[in-house]
Amino acid sequence: MDWLKAMNNAVEYIEDNINEKFDIEKVSKIALSSPFHFQRMYHMITGVTVAEYIRRRRLTLAAQDILSGEKIINVAYKYGYETPESFTKAFKKLHGISPTAAREQGASLKAYPKLSFHISIKGDKDMNYKIVEKGSFKVVGKQKRMTMSGEENFKQVPKFWYDCMADGSYDWLTSKAGKLGVLGVSKDFDKFTDEFNYMIAVEEIKDPLPKGYISATIPAATWAVFESVGPVPEALHELLRRIYSEWMPSTGYQHDCAPDIDVFPIGDMSSPDYRCELWIPVRK
């Protein structure tokens, strides 16, 4: 399968150039993908960002070099750290001990192995979807900057919802919700920092916007629309992983450069029967 081969080729390139400055444009080209799509898919399948994978691999190899007798300062520079202090801090965060302590007999270290991609055909659950063509439209709501690093977005996004419910923003938005309902919009992905903007929004309204609210344009796109059944956010997270690890590789679709949209009808989001939709912009 071309997709599988391309993703593994990208990992091999990363490994062959692990000491070099990371070039996301080159890696994503090898993966036959855009930088946005490659990083998004990589994160959803593996649970870590590309940058985090590289960091862990470098520190795994650094530990081996230290055990072989290389000077710590040389190892630090070899793996891209500007100072021995910054290297020591990163080393301790992964391994739990300092580079010096790693040389002691019996020291316990962590190893993060090289990844490879394989397709697992499960077939235990159907993935029903529909393809929808939708023109450009505007949304209004509240926005916050998030990061995918360390899967922090899986914590930050729910907290943003809870905060908006607590301060009354969610109630105001539900009172203005249009046909689609209340939307969660992930957009403006930064290919260098793993950060993106997340909006809790509704389709554009004519009323003046209160302080702290913004307007944004969603571009025209082709959307793959999936239904999620179950409590939010757990059911959505599981669906996202399946879309990137199962549906996209098996259908030949890939992520297009437009926002992801969660469509939330008014209802009890914690219910095991709650139904919402996930809109993924796609292209063949």
With cut-offs at 50, 70 and 90, classify the pLDDT of residue 273.
very high
CA 65 to centroid of chain Cα atoms = 31
CATH 1.10.10.60: which residues of the chain? 2-103
Q: Look at residue 119 in the predicted model and tell me its pLDDT.
A: 59
Distance CA 278, CA 284 (A): 18
CA angle 208, 214, 218 (to 5 degrees): 110
Top-confidence residue, 175 or 4 = 175
Q: Look at residue 1 in the predicted model and tell me its pLDDT.
A: 55
CATH 3.20.80.10: which residues of the chain? 129-283
| DSSP conformation letters of 44-87 | HHHSS-HHHHHHHHHHHHHHHHHHTT--HHHHHHHTT-SSHHHH
Give the percent of the chain with pLDDT over 90.
Answer: 58
Q: Look at residue 231 in the predicted model and tell me its pLDDT.
A: 94
pLDDT (tens digit per residue) in 146-170 = 987 767 888 899 999 999 999 999 9
Mean pLDDT of 162-185: 93
This prediction's pTM: 0.72
pLDDT at 240 over 80: yes
pLDDT (tens digit per residue) in 11-64 = 999 999 999 988 988 998 998 877 877 887 788 778 788 888 999 999 999 999
Q: Name the nearest CA neighbour of 75 among 65, 88, 86, 85.
A: 65
- Which fold does the domain 2-103 belong to in CATH? Arc Repressor Mutant, subunit A (1.10.10)
Q: Look at residue 151 in the predicted model and tell me its pLDDT.
A: 72
Specify whether the CB–CB gap between 139 and 203 falls below 8 A.
yes
CATH code of the domain made up of 129-283: 3.20.80.10
Specify whether the CB–CB gap between 173 and 201 falls below 8 A.
yes
pLDDT (tens digit per residue) in 59-114 = 999 999 999 999 999 999 999 999 999 999 999 999 999 999 999 988 899 988 88
Q: Look at residue 251 in the predicted model and tell me its pLDDT.
A: 81
Whose tokens are 């301060």? That residue is: 167
